[in-house]
Structure 1
Amino acid sequence: MNERASNRCLLYADVAGGLRLAVKLGEAEAGYAVERCLNRMSRCAEAYSGSALDVRADALVASFADADSALLAAREMRERVRALPPMSGIKLVLRAGVVLESEGGGEAGAAEKLAAALVEGSNPDTISVSTELTQILSPSMRRMLGKADEASSPAPLPPAPEPSEAPPPAAPLELRQDAAQEAQAQAQAQAQAQRQMRVSFRGQNWVIDAAHPTLLFGRETGNDIVVSDPRVSRQHARIELRNGSFYLADSSTNGTYLLEEGSPEHCVKRDECALSEKGHIGCGFSVADNMSDAVAFALD
């Protein structure tokens, strides 16, 4: 096996929290939330030239030409999933394991089993790597690795084994944030904490802010806003505060109509869009046709 082939890496990443979300919101809504995470993760894998991409119900597997690319892709996946706000108090998080494809003696599926085992043995929101993979990382990537319980300082990397020795067992190490990322995350948190959106429907009012970043509406009584109309889905749509901005996300059958000041009405279906300062939302129907059942929103 040539050096290039032996340095290929396999990334296994899953989304944790989907089962708890399904118990609270139902399988359909939880499945949509996990799917959004997987879509973001897939785009990250493609951005770092990931190949052999396999997207499953709640996990993703991809191959990368080198260890640095695999870890950078995993780090961006984690940030994209972290950026999604909690739903009903439940936060979806990413767990990832990265190994050399040659690990496991070349048996079919052995590398994936090893990466999945790293994921199962790690804490949520953690990126773990095998011992063998640490030997081929660039110096800059090595500096970003630290023990999961010693995030304040880098962990010493294990020495390469002598030819006569068996390779050491996989040792999970955590990919830490650098100072620039931490500062950016703090700035985003501060911006989000200061923003509020007021929402009203039939004389009732709600506030979306850092303490309550998600507002659900639909036909079922479990939603924050219940719209009794046959065109409205049980869990129709939601407004989310994310990274200091407000988004309308649709998960319905008939779509969600958005009418904002100064813009023509348009339909959002199985997608999301950023909200402007003021407007109205129709669940499955045009706002212009039924303003009395429209949800009004405005930035505070």
Structure 2
Amino acid sequence: MNERASNRCLLYADVAGGLRLAVKLGEAEAGYAVERCLNRMSRCAEAYSGSALELRPDSLVASFADADSALLAAREMRERVRALPPMSGIKLVLRAGVVLESEGGGDRVAAEKLAASLVEGSNPDTIAVSDALSQILSPSMRRMLGKTDEVASPAPPAALAPLTPSAPALGEAPPPPPSPADSRQDVGQAPKQMRVSFRGQNWVIDAAHPTLLFGRETGNDIVVSDPRVSRQHSRIELRNGAFYLADSSTNGTYLLEEGSPERCVKRDELALAEKGHIGCGFSVADNMSDAVAFALD
């Protein structure tokens, strides 16, 4: 099995509170409310390139190419469900479990059961990941995770519950070593770096730190406080020796590279050239002062 296939992830998410709502409002009204949540969740899965999407009466299952995409999709699902107002005092919330598909021994049903077991008996509003999946998250994604809590489960070892993006990732423990995918470089190639700057601050994207997150939420690497910016707006990723701009926002991400006209990326990705500027939800040409600059070393 190649490494990309072995890193595929399966996300299981369900909507809690539907039974209480059915008792109070009736099954038809409760079913409508849960369906509205699931529709929002499915759009989030599609925004992060989720595949093999399955919708059930009160749950969703989707497959993702990598751990970061699965976690970002789960976080946005939770935010969109949170944004829905309570009905008759009852608030619907999301619970999600994410595992490597390989943890199911190649059996999707087994992987789904493992993901569902991570949130059984857990508190509402929880996103839990398996220990194996937590080891291949990018350093940037680890920084977005909140304090770790063990999730009771018949599954193999502990899970993480990223509840508070602003809290230190993984408590006070030192960060784990980068995964083979993060640290691998092609033989004979010089290490690649991209330097990114925004409002006097600088970041480096390289094999040790292959992902840089932009958004309005404080857990992002680059926080852009603008109403046009989504909570998790976009990211730059280093993959297979190339840098990509991936958008997951509502308003799109604008890219202005030297010698090229400005382009808008929306729910898609583009390979980056050597130098340019990025606008989160706004045109770089109209607002260069708030644009993110990047340059390939």
TM bucket, shorter chain: 0.5 to 0.7
Contact 1:68 1:138 in 2 (8 A): yes
Say if 2:193 is the partner of 1:172: no
Aligned 1:78-227 pairs, distance under 5 A: 78-149=78-149, 169-179=156-166, 181=217
Tell me what 1:50 maps to. Answer: 50
In structure 1, the gaps of 5 or more residues are 151-167, 189-300
The residue type equivalent to 1:54 in the other structure is E
Question: After superposition, what is the alpha-carbon deviation per residue over 1:236-284, rounded to whole angstroms, capped at 9, x for unaligned?
Answer: xxxxxxxxxxxxxxxxxxxxxxxxxxxxxxxxxxxxxxxxxxxxxxxxx
Contact 1:147 1:172 in 2 (8 A): no
Structure whose alpha-carbon radius of gyration is higher:
1
CA distance in structure 1 between the partners assigned to 2:14 and 2:87 by the alignment = 18
Pair 1:122–1:172, CA change in 2 (3 A): farther
In structure 2, the gaps of 5 or more residues are 167-215, 228-297
SS in 2 for 1:102: helix
The residue type equivalent to 2:99 in the other structure is V
Tell me what 1:74 maps to. Answer: 74
Contact 1:49 1:64 in 2 (8 A): yes
Pairwise CA RMSD: 2.4
User: Could you state the TM-score of these two structures normalised by the residue count of structure 1?
Assistant: 0.53
- Using the TM superposition, give the Cα deviation of residue 93 of structure 1 relative to its aligned residue in structure 2, in angstroms: 0.1
SS in 1 for 2:95: strand
- Runs (4 or more) in structure 1 with deviation over 4 Å come to none
Tell me what 1:234 maps to. Answer: none
Identity %, equivalent residues: 83
Aligned 1:258-269 pairs, distance under 5 A: none
CA distance in structure 2 between the partners assigned to 1:49 and 1:6 by the alignment = 17
- Using the TM superposition, give the Cα deviation of residue 146 of structure 1 relative to its aligned residue in structure 2, in angstroms: 3.4
CA distance in structure 1 between the partners assigned to 2:146 and 2:156 by the alignment = 17
- Using the TM superposition, give the Cα deviation of residue 122 of structure 1 relative to its aligned residue in structure 2, in angstroms: 2.1
CA distance in structure 2 between the partners assigned to 1:40 and 1:176 by the alignment = 20
- Using the TM superposition, give the Cα deviation of residue 110 of structure 1 relative to its aligned residue in structure 2, in angstroms: 1.1
User: Could you state the TM-score of these two structures normalised by the residue count of structure 2?
Assistant: 0.53
Contact 1:103 1:111 in 2 (8 A): yes
Instruction: Tell me the number of residue pairs that the alignment of Structure 1 and Structure 2 aligns.
Output: 169
Contact 1:122 1:128 in 2 (8 A): no
CA distance in structure 2 between the partners assigned to 1:149 and 1:5 by the alignment = 28
The residue type equivalent to 1:74 in the other structure is A
SS in 2 for 1:103: helix
Pair 1:107–1:149, CA change in 2 (3 A): closer
Tell me what 1:23 maps to. Answer: 23
CA distance in structure 2 between the partners assigned to 1:75 and 1:117 by the alignment = 19
SS in 1 for 2:103: coil
